[in-house]
Structure 1
């Protein structure tokens, strides 16, 4: 697949990619990737000469089990990971040191970092959130605040003020991040019960989608979020609880292909990411397609050429100039083995207007 504004990163993971994130630093071209091959990969799109091209692999960090999620911390020299070893880890990129912040009682599906409140939040299949203070350092006696959830979290995303947790049973809870940060500040670090706290969410909602949620992503303007399902649909909603605002929410069909015999084949929408400047968003599906959407005008901006396998993760760089696309088997074909050379990371360099919606300034 050739394109003048697209390239493939060298040295991709050897098994399926579970998450991919750009550094939040301005003009940074670093990407961190979590994989089922039990490793975290750190790349830079720039080579030794500072040229953006095929990029380079900077480091790998081995884990005990498949890694399901990863994010950068307060700087791009620290990353946080979550996975099937049940642990939430902090990795110091400069030293390579890994510190276990806490251990859940089941696999940890998501981990996110709030710069505004300096807390790490992890969501686990043990139906809890762990909230960690980043100023706790390497103090292994420091306990996270444990927030019980009504069901298993499948995807979490945050803005500067809110945390959205999409769970089983098509339920969503929206938390006030300031309230969560206050809880961690008040928590007794010597507690032996893990500081388990019942927290009332800011809002409880039922998903607008009829089938299981696959991904949720918050708008950069702190006004709402998009969620996707296993049944080829995306819903767009706003935080404002007023009837006028709630009347604006909608859902639409996407990532569907017509087979040779005319049957409509529906694929899961695995990945969502909002453009940090224009507010449009990208979706990636099990059909190997990435599309850009104008959520305000309710229209598709463009759809890219089909990729060689399922899209497992997408993310925009902090400047919005680059879109990273993780391609790896989604097992829609029923096969559970990953063929050599199938897992790839594509990076598109976007033009100034490529992700700009009709109503964007």
Structure 2
């Protein structure tokens, strides 16, 4: 594979989510505001399947090599049969579904919604009823799940951390360390913590363990900023993803840039060349050899700018040593 490959047949409208398969590093899902979910073979650079839906799709995820799920503005959770391109109705929320994740450890789909509920579903059930439903204090905007650790980002800068093996109550509830609206959340590969990002060009690194000596390690830093003609430009950080092997993480923003960070040494390892438009979503392949980058309008420049936006693109970047912590870093995090 070339260092950077642009996929053919991208969605026609903004891309809400890209997700690599946890079983096959060549398979990638992309959900879009054009009301589709597409399956790509990134090695062959071809679209293998397309699922048309009734409204914008905000999130998608794999269950296994042949099944996936999606949710969006029409409030329905759909199961996607990847080999036959058939769909089925698994359930629904009372408002738009912002995020779906498959919890392998408990064989359940987890969905979060603007209706302030977190629901769990048995994909094998034909009842179209959630196995459990949990009312949260605010609308759910973003979620990430690694192993049994689920981090939920809500409106009003609230976060809840859950252990999906025991849903009696959240492990903890916190307020964001960042002052402005949360734009992304990603769990560390070792489940010890997570990163969050905001519209103000900042990232916070947080830890799950409530012990004071662990909480003292959390921090925030400025990023996705540039000084042009003595004017400071600040872009939203729209996407975060942790590398599955090295636990470094990538950030992507409305500046069209992707950076790789070592959160333990607090250093930037690499910054890739700028893309033509903002970046809405990123995903590492399960073997850590590829990074999918969704490049599209994210509507943060207003309606007129959106009318002039280019068609969305999905790029696949082949990765090397730049994602390893052993690479000599060249950039210290700026202070908070």
Q: 1:143 and 1:23 mapped to 2: Cα distance? A: 24
Of the three residues 245, 252, 258, the one matched with 1:277 is 245
Instruction: List per-residue Cα deviations over 1:228-264 (Å, max 9, x = no partner).
Output: 011111011111111111000000000112233x221
Instruction: List per-residue Cα deviations over 1:33-57 (Å, max 9, x = no partner).
Output: 000000001000122xxxxxxx111
Q: Structure 1 residues 359 and 6 mapped into 2: Cα distance closer, same or farther (>3 Å)? A: closer
2:142 corresponds to: 155
Of the three residues 137, 151, 175, the one matched with 1:164 is 151
Does residue 68 of the first structure (1) align with residue 49 of the second (2)?
A: no
Q: 2:202 and 2:233 mapped to 1: Cα distance? A: 13
1:51 corresponds to: none
What's the secondary structure of 1:135's corresponding residue?
coil
Does residue 222 of the first structure (1) align with residue 222 of the second (2)?
A: no
TM-score, length of structure 2 as denominator length: 0.93
Structure 1 residue 340, shift from structure 2 partner: 7.0
Structure 1 residue 315, shift from structure 2 partner: 0.5
Structure 1 residue 158, shift from structure 2 partner: 1.2
TM-score, length of structure 1 as denominator length: 0.87
Q: Structure 1 residues 161 and 258 mapped into 2: Cα distance closer, same or farther (>3 Å)? A: same
Instruction: List per-residue Cα deviations over 1:157-198 (Å, max 9, x = no partner).
Output: 112121110111111111111013xxxxxxxxxxxxxxxxxx
Aligned pairs, how many? Answer: 327
**Match runs of 1:74-85 below 5 Å:** 75-85=64-74
Query: What do you get for the CA RMSD once the two structures are aligned?
Result: 1.7
2:332 corresponds to: none
1:349 corresponds to: 318
8 Å Cα contact 1:289-1:307 kept in structure 2:
yes
1:236 corresponds to: 205
Structure 1 residue 76, shift from structure 2 partner: 1.9
Structure 1 residue 221, shift from structure 2 partner: 0.8
Instruction: List per-residue Cα deviations over 1:272-292 (Å, max 9, x = no partner).
Output: 000011110000101111100
Q: Structure 1 residues 141 and 274 mapped into 2: Cα distance closer, same or farther (>3 Å)? A: closer
8 Å Cα contact 1:86-1:105 kept in structure 2:
yes
Structure 1 residue 299, shift from structure 2 partner: 0.6
Does residue 287 of the first structure (1) align with residue 255 of the second (2)?
A: yes
What's the secondary structure of 1:46's corresponding residue?
coil
Does residue 28 of the first structure (1) align with residue 25 of the second (2)?
A: yes
Q: 2:26 and 2:165 mapped to 1: Cα distance? A: 30
Q: Structure 1 residues 95 and 140 mapped into 2: Cα distance closer, same or farther (>3 Å)? A: farther
What's the secondary structure of 2:166's corresponding residue?
helix
What's the secondary structure of 2:179's corresponding residue?
coil
1:56 corresponds to: 46
1:259 corresponds to: 228
Q: 2:280 and 2:81 mapped to 1: Cα distance? A: 26
Q: 1:11 and 1:92 mapped to 2: Cα distance? A: 20
Q: 1:115 and 1:58 mapped to 2: Cα distance? A: 24
Larger Rg: 1
Structure 1 residue 339, shift from structure 2 partner: 4.8
Q: Which runs of 5+ in 2 are unaligned?
A: 329-336
Q: Which runs of 5+ in 1 are unaligned?
A: 48-54, 181-198
Of the three residues 170, 173, 177, the one matched with 2:164 is 177
8 Å Cα contact 1:151-1:167 kept in structure 2:
yes
Does residue 16 of the first structure (1) align with residue 5 of the second (2)?
A: no
1:191 corresponds to: none
Relative to structure 2, which stretch is displaced further, 95-104 or 243-252? Answer: 95-104
